[in-house]
Amino acid sequence: MGVVRLAAQSDVLSAIVAAVLALVGEPRLAGTMTTDSPGTGVAAGLAGSPDTVSQAWVARLGCPGAERDAAAAELHDVLLRVARFEIRRRQAAFPNLSGADLDDLAWQSADDALMSILRRLGDFRGHSRFTTWACKFAIVEAGAKVRRHAWRGREIPLAPALWPILADQAPGPHQYAEARDLLEALREEVERLTARQRQVFVAIALSEVPIDVLADRLGTTRGALYKTLHDARHNLKAGLAARGWAAPESGGDWDHAR
């Protein structure tokens, strides 16, 4: 089975590389590594010296022919190990999945990560090592797939049913009364949100539904949903402030100016 998979891997990688290059065009991939300082203070000191290993990765993945296929195969091996590492970290979310299922998930993550990396090779600017830049694609792919599997078949809570539970988490009578008043104010402000903002806030912030899971269910993107969540939170904070509640300067929770 391992031999079959290795042979299949080679074919799949060749197909992936060919498909990506057909989409983006080879000139964009060649010689795109830069050692320029980020210029914005981001990663200053990390990108200052030439990183020959990173340059070699980009050069090999950007050149046509067998060398690129070999580099893609090496990178896929790295991404597969990273995906397995990430899935193993999150294995508690998979009580009903077998080891074979999880390994398939790791392979899918590595394949998708490699596709993204090859498509976006020209975006690498050397603000980190190439391997760090590449590994984040595998981490994000594996993490999203883990969350989707963990929520497969589960109902998404879209109604706010958790307020009493939240109030009960207060440590003492005074804190309970304060938390109850604050939560009541927040609950009323949630009712003033638009239907979409309320739906997203309840699912993500109150019910802790993973944002990419909700994005799939609602047919949108993680970025678009976070914008909606951000707008909802902005309105909630403004509403609480108008009621006399003050945001904490550092640590703690909102306090009422009495």
Partner 1 sequence: MVQDLVGPTDPELSCDECFELLDAYVELELAGADAAAEMPLMRAHLRGCSACRDDHDSLVALLRADPQDLP
Per CB under 8 A, residues contacting partner 1 are 38, 41-47, 81-82, 84-86, 88-89, 127-129, 132-133, 135-136, 139-140, 143-144, 147, 166, 169-170, 179, 182-183, 186, 205-206, 208, 210-212, 222-223, 226-227, 229-230, 233, 236-237, 240, 247-248, 252-254
Minimum CB distance to partner 1 smaller for 11 or for 208: 208
CB of 148 to partner 1, least distance (A): 12
CB of 147 to partner 1, least distance (A): 7
What single DSSP character describes residue 45?
A: T
Q: Hey, is 245 helix, strand or coil?
A: strand
Contact 202, 190 (CB under 8 A): yes
Minimum CB distance to partner 1 smaller for 52 or for 169: 169
CB of 181 to partner 1, least distance (A): 11
CB of 39 to partner 1, least distance (A): 12
Q: Name residues whose C-beta falls within 8 Å of residue 229's C-beta, 6 or more positions apart in sequence.
A: 197, 200, 201, 204, 205, 211
- Residue type for 20, please? V
Minimum CB distance to partner 1 smaller for 115 or for 205: 205
Minimum CB distance to partner 1 smaller for 62 or for 210: 210
CB of 127 to partner 1, least distance (A): 4
Question: What are the distances in angstroms from CA 166 to CA 53, 157, 201, 250, 256?
Answer: 50, 16, 15, 21, 18
Nearest CA-CA partner of 148 in 217, 98, 228, 80: 217
CB of 18 to partner 1, least distance (A): 26
Minimum CB distance to partner 1 smaller for 5 or for 26: 5
Minimum CB distance to partner 1 smaller for 47 or for 71: 47
Dihedral angle of Cα 9, 90, 88, 128, to the nearest 10 degrees: 70
CA atoms within 13 A on the CB side of 63: 11
Nearest CA-CA partner of 151 in 97, 200, 85, 113: 97
Minimum CB distance to partner 1 smaller for 14 or for 34: 34
CB of 64 to partner 1, least distance (A): 27
Q: Hey, is 41 helix, strand or coil?
A: coil
Pairwise CA distance, residues 144 & 213, whole Å: 8
Which position has the token pair 């309105």?
235
